[in-house]
Amino acid sequence: MAIAVSNGFRVFETRLAPPLSRDEWLERRARFNHDWLQVSFLTFLQAWHVELDVYGSTADLPVDIRTVLGEWVVRRPVLDLLIRYAEQLLGPGKVLDEFPLNELPYDQRLWLLDEVGKLWREASGFRLLIGDLEATATSVDEVIGNLLADHPCLHAGTRLYAKCQTVSRLLTALPMIRGA
């Protein structure tokens, strides 16, 4: 939940509203994770990871492979967006923003946001999942960055395939608070 923090006081009124709704977040995840990462990019990596291991060790990447890998860089801002607003749109803060809980007194909402947010992050596994997702996405950045820069990168294809599979799995597994 993005809350403006100033002198120890956190206030709903000045918080930064997410630039997308929960439905839009879910649609962007579907387009990124299923329609591109799983259907296209992982399929490519599954077929080419052995060759990528070789290209990584020789630092000699063909142009067509370079183009496909570059798609990760182009689409990375979408993943950033999904990670940045995941808690705000999937967690208790979403419920506290809407009827009927938006009718709660201000101090109770703040208290709930802190305490129930903490409970939900731990109990639902969100905290671990989002941490792993960020770390894994960063490691994909590193491998692809090395390949595109023609820096030697051992087992690049195998690592990339495994890490992208993990990104996909973690994106799918992010919990969402719902009514039932």
CA-to-CA distance for 15 and 173, rounded, in angstroms? Answer: 27
Site for another protein in 41-100 (CB under 8 A): 43-44, 46, 92, 95-96, 98-100
Alpha-helix residue ranges (DSSP H) falling in the chain = 22-29, 42-58, 63-90, 92-96, 106-123, 126-148, 156-173
Q: How far is the CB of 57 from another protein (least distance, A)?
A: 26
CA-to-CA distance for 119 and 5, rounded, in angstroms? Answer: 21
Strand, helix or coil at 11? strand
Q: By the 8 A CB rule, do 75 and 4 touch?
A: no
Q: How far is the CB of 116 from another protein (least distance, A)?
A: 5
| Residues 106-145 as x/- pattern, contact with another protein by CB under 8 A | -xx-xxx-xxx--xx--xx---------------------
The site for another protein (CB under 8 A) is made up of: 8, 10, 26-27, 29-31, 33-35, 38-40, 43-44, 46, 92, 95-96, 98-101, 103-105, 107-108, 110-112, 114-116, 119-120, 123-124, 172-173, 175-180
